Amino acid sequence: MSVRNRPAALTVAGSDSGGGAGIQADLKTFAAHGVYGASAITALTAQNTTGVQAVYPVSPDFVVAQIRSVLEDIGADAIKTGMLASEVIIEAVARELEGQTLVVDPVMVSKSGHRLLEEAAIDALRFRLMPIATIVTPNLAEAEALVNFAVRNKEGMLAAAQAIEAFGPKWVLVKGGHLEGAPDDLLWDGERAIWLEGERIDSGFTHGTGCALSAAIAANLALGAEMIEACKQAKLFLTAAIKAGFKVGSGVNPPNWFYGMGH
């Protein structure tokens, strides 16, 4: 393994050709935190700010080859997963990443409504990947799919966090971006319910925000932060990035990952 002069993080996720979500958003988020970013691509998407036009999954063997290539040479202080596409990819990734500091973003459907995870793969997510996760970061719709009951308010978020924690992750962050009112997130460690208060920003710069938040958590963990602080800092980062925004297309635009650099 090489000797690094800065923390490194690995993202295992899909590629967004439009640059606003997936691997591209993760790498930009790592860079904005001063963390070296590496990637293992699970699927190629033809995608822009208006939606996803096509998806082409990568073979599980090649996903594993990418992960091993990075970890054997560069290593990673934290790893995040995003779009994993299929049951066989989830199984392969889970075998490779056991024992790592692992942020699992259970990406299932794009913001435009395009399915990014096979229905049959949800059980693999529950029973293979979540048991090895350091933290899982579902939004309300993803939480509902994982627990099979409605998650529409703070009471539902707490019930969902408890049910998801039973699958085995050390921490669960149920994101409240789709709540009515303030977009507060719930961080749960099996004993404590820690509410991270949010600010509703009606800017339209929300493409890839789930990717950016989980990547920011991974970046902060790579930098040595404890989990509560990592999540707080990630939420502050994302809030500021949404306020700044990037106007790049005719649909839902991404946040400005580099707002702190004056761009």
Q: Are 207 and 16 in contact (CB under 8 A)?
A: no
Whether 210 is catalytic: yes
Largest CA distance in the chain: 48
What angle (nearest 5°) sits at the alpha carbon of residue 143, between those of residues 113 and 253?
A: 40
Active site (annotated) includes residue 231: no
Would residue 206 show up in a list of annotated catalytic residues for this protein? yes
DSSP summary character for residue 128: I
206, 231, 232, 245: the catalytic one is: 206
DSSP secondary structure code for residue 120 in this structure: G
Active-site entry in 45, 49, 134, 209:
209
User: Has 175 been annotated as catalytic?
Assistant: yes
Active-site annotation holder among 37, 49, 82, 175: 175
Which residue of the set 19, 82, 176, 208 is catalytic?
A: 208
211 has catalytic annotation: yes
Catalytic residue of the set 18, 156, 176, 210 = 210
Query: Of 211, 231, 232, 235, which residue is the catalytic one?
Result: 211
Query: What are the φ and ψ backbone dihedral angles of 83, each rounded to 5 degrees?
Result: -65, 120
In whole angstroms, give the CA distance from residue 50 to residue 72: 38
Q: Which residues are catalytic?
A: 175, 206, 208-211
